[in-house]
């Protein structure tokens, strides 16, 4: 083990718990705290470094959890507005945005404090401050007061996450030009809102604020919404958004943006070549995120960054001995559940085990808009690109009894399979609660199930899960209810 780093600061201390640390994890998001827990479970001595005063990272504090809390408010609001159709009459149904934020904040604080409890339960030492690698096995942590501590360790795991990426020449100001962080804290609903980027973040905020009362325009440079999803799902989502009054521009190019005293003026070239001018109160940029790898000291350790990302192998090891990286700073899908699985693999590798690498084709994708979108496995187009003779089975929610009971019949499920052997290749859903239905598909892919095995699996009635059984029957050529 290397000797302690020298420091001119009188506030600098070197931390050497008895026996030394086995792992220092930098970043307390879903990947970082999961890595700390699993490493501790495997008998390793662990410290978790986090620059924020709260644990949980972007997902818990400014991403997944608060966004979904507000989306739930939008769901309840929409159901209340249409309750009379089901025999529940409510008068003066309206949004109380302050109360919605209070609910969101309670959920966030509960989750964040839960992470703190888990750290204590698992004996993980939490160190507040910004961590920097000053040498192999040495992490310098500077806290909010400027005090510096040095942690010596056998291994370091980086899980520092990502941040919203602004458009070139158009910085976030939090007033007119918003990041997703800003969009979670607005004190009032804007009269009009343009959103650039129709990935999961842009689509979710379009769904959220349109139901809250904003006039929403959604702009995407690529030919369709949710470009990574199956084309049929993207097409159905666009139809649904248009029916809900959301203005959608796909295949569009943003030519000019000006912040004015009243809002933001956008010059947009549409897919037909027409130039449109849009004037909106606020602009939300949801066109991507950037990995947070600046200032970590990676260059001094010989770690090469590619567009800010850290390259790793199947066990999440970087090119530097004893240094691992997971989550949004590696070039894999930027999803909390991906970071968590990568964390488990990294911790098990550090402990000397031989974990199985992640099959990234099987990463589940969820978008919590109305309607919801969920998928796992290959799209029809991707399966054909890989040379499969593709067979598809589809079934609409409108033909499903439970969907009618819930009065949410929009959407469908699409199964993609290999025609020769019947192997399931992908499952793509749009409709009510499909993010909760997706797990069955993930297990089926993991076990290399066939469509016939899904069709022969008894699904309870009446449930939404029957939609997968019915789609499997459709893929075999004998659907029951269409």
Q: What average pLDDT score do residues 318-329 get?
A: 97
- Contact residues for 452 (Cβ-Cβ < 8 A; gap 6+): 422, 472, 476
Q: What is the CATH number of domain 13-60+102-163+290-361?
A: 3.50.50.60
Does residue 462 register a pLDDT over 50?
yes
Q: What does the alpha-carbon distance between residue 137 and residue 441 come to, in Å, rounded to a whole number?
A: 41
Structure letter (DSSP) for residue 423: B
Q: What average pLDDT score do residues 233-248 get?
A: 98
Q: Which of 101, 461, 469, 481 is catalytic?
A: 461
Are the C-beta atoms of 399 and 410 separated by less than 8 Å?
no
* Token digits of residue 124: 């993980």
Q: What average pLDDT score do residues 251-270 get?
A: 94
pLDDT given for residue 123 in this prediction: 97
Residue range 359-405, pLDDT digits in tens: 999 999 999 999 999 999 999 999 999 999 999 999 999 999 999 99
Strands of the sheet containing 282-285, edge to edge, are 177-178, 282-285, 192-196, 215-220, 247-250
**Which homologous superfamily does the CATH classification assign to the domain defined by 371-475?**
FAD/NAD-linked reductase, C-terminal dimerisation domain (3.30.390.30)
Are the C-beta atoms of 249 and 270 separated by less than 8 Å?
yes
pLDDT given for residue 300 in this prediction: 84
Q: What average pLDDT score do residues 35-51 get?
A: 98
Task: Tell the burial category of 140 from Cβ atoms under 10 Å away from its Cβ (0-12, 13-18, 19+).
Answer: buried
Does residue 174 register a pLDDT over 80?
yes
DSSP-assigned beta bridge partners for residue 151: 15, 139
pLDDT given for residue 2 in this prediction: 33
Residue range 191-206, pLDDT digits in tens: 999 999 999 999 999 9
CB pairs under 8 A, 24+ apart, for 261-264? 263/176, 263/192, 264/176, 264/177, 264/194
Strands of the sheet containing 424-431, edge to edge, are 365-367, 372-377, 424-431, 412-418, 390-396
Q: What is the CATH number of domain 177-286?
A: 3.50.50.60
Does residue 1 register a pLDDT over 90?
no
Q: What does the alpha-carbon distance between residue 71 and residue 143 come to, in Å, rounded to a whole number?
A: 35
Radius of gyration of the chain (CA): 24
Does residue 7 register a pLDDT over 80?
no
φ, ψ of residue 206 to 5 degrees: the values are: -65, -45
* Token digits of residue 38: 């699993």
Does residue 15 register a pLDDT over 50?
no
pLDDT given for residue 304 in this prediction: 84
Q: What average pLDDT score do residues 89-118 get?
A: 97
Does residue 8 register a pLDDT over 80?
no
Does residue 14 register a pLDDT over 50?
no
Residue range 131-142, pLDDT digits in tens: 999 999 999 999
* Number of other residues whose CB lies within 10 A of the CB of residue 447: 10
Does residue 13 register a pLDDT over 70?
no
Indicate whether this model's pTM tops 0.85: yes
Does residue 429 register a pLDDT over 90?
yes
Q: What distance lies between CA 114 and its chain's CA centroid?
A: 20
Any catalytic annotation for residue 461? Answer: yes
pLDDT given for residue 206 in this prediction: 98
pLDDT given for residue 451 in this prediction: 98
Does residue 311 register a pLDDT over 60?
yes
pLDDT given for residue 10 in this prediction: 40
For 88, 109, 263, the CA distances from 299, given in Å and listed in that order, are 62, 36, 41
- What mean pLDDT value characterizes the chain? 94
Are the C-beta atoms of 111 and 56 separated by less than 8 Å?
yes
* Number of other residues whose CB lies within 10 A of the CB of residue 357: 11
Are the C-beta atoms of 346 and 175 separated by less than 8 Å?
no
Furthest CA-CA distance within the chain? 77
Domains 13-60+102-163+290-361 and 371-475 share a fold: no
Q: What does the alpha-carbon distance between residue 378 and residue 380 come to, in Å, rounded to a whole number?
A: 6
Q: Measured in Å, how far apart are the chain's first and last C-alpha atoms? A: 68
For 7, 231, 392, 430, 439, the CA distances from 423, given in Å and listed in that order, are 60, 21, 11, 22, 17
Q: Give buried/exposed letters for 196-214 (b at 16+ CB in 10 A, else e).
A: bbbbbbbbbbbbbbbbbeb
Structure letter (DSSP) for residue 170: B
Q: Give the percent of the chain with pLDDT over 70.
A: 96
Could you state, in order of their start, the residue ranges of all structural domains in the chain? 13-60+102-163+290-361, 177-286, 371-475
């Amino acid at each position: 083990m290397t000797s302690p780093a020298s420091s001119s600061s009188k506030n600098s201390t070197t931390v050497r718990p008895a026996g030394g640390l086995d792992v220092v994890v930098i970043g307390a998001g879903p990947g970082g705290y999961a890595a700390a827990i699993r490493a501790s479970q495997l008998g390793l001595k662990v410290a978790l470094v986090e620059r924020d005063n709260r644990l949980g990272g972007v997902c818990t504090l400014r991403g997944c959890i608060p966004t979904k809390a507000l989306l739930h408010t939008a769901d309840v609001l929409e159901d209340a507005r249409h309750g009379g159709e089901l025999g529940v009459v409510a008068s003066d149904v309206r949004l109380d945005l302050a109360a919605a934020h209070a609910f969101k904040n309670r959920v966030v604080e509960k989750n964040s404090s839960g992470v703190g409890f888990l750290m204590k339960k698992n004996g993980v030492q939490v160190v507040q401050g910004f961590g920097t690698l000053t040498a192999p096995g040495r992490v310098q942590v500077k806290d909010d007061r400027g005090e510096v501590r040095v942690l010596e360790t056998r291994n370091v795991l980086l899980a520092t996450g990502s941040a919203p990426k602004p458009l070139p020449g158009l910085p976030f100001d939090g007033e007119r030009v918003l990041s997703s962080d800003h969009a979670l804290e607005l004190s009032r609903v804007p009269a009009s809102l343009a959103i650039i980027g129709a990935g999961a973040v842009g689509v979710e905020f379009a769904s959220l604020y349109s139901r809250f009362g904003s006039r929403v325009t959604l702009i995407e440079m690529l030919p369709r919404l949710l470009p990574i999803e199956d084309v049929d799902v993207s097409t159905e989502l666009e139809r649904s958004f248009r029916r809900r009054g959301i203005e959608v521009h796909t295949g569009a190019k943003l030519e000019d943006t000006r912040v004015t005293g009243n809002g933001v003026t956008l010059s947009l070239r549409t897919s037909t070549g027409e130039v449109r001018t849009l004037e909106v109160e606020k602009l939300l940029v949801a066109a991507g995120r950037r990995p947070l790898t600046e200032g970590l000291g990676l260059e001094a350790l010989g770690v090469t960054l590619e567009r800010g990302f850290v390259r790793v192998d199947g066990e999440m090891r970087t090119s530097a001995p004893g240094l691992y990286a997971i989550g949004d700073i590696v070039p894999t899908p930027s999803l909390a559940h991906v970071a968590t699985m990568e964390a488990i693999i990294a911790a098990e590798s550090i402990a000397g085990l031989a974990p199985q690498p992640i099959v990234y084709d099987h990463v589940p994708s969820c978008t919590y808009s109305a309607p919801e979108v969920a998928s796992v496995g290959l799209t029809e187009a991707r399966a054909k690109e890989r040379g499969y003779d593709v067979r598809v089975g589809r079934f609409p929610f409108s033909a499903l009894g439970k969907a009618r009971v819930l009065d949410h019949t929009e959407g469908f499920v699409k199964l993609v399979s290999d025609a020769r052997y019947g192997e399931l290749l992908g499952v793509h859903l749009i409709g009510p609660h499909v993010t909760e239905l997706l797990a069955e598909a993930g297990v089926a892919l993991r076990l290399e199930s066939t469509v016939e095995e899904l069709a022969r699996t008894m699904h309870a009635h009446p449930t939404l899960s029957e939609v997968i059984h019915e789609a499997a029957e459709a893929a075999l050529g004998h659907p029951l209810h269409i």
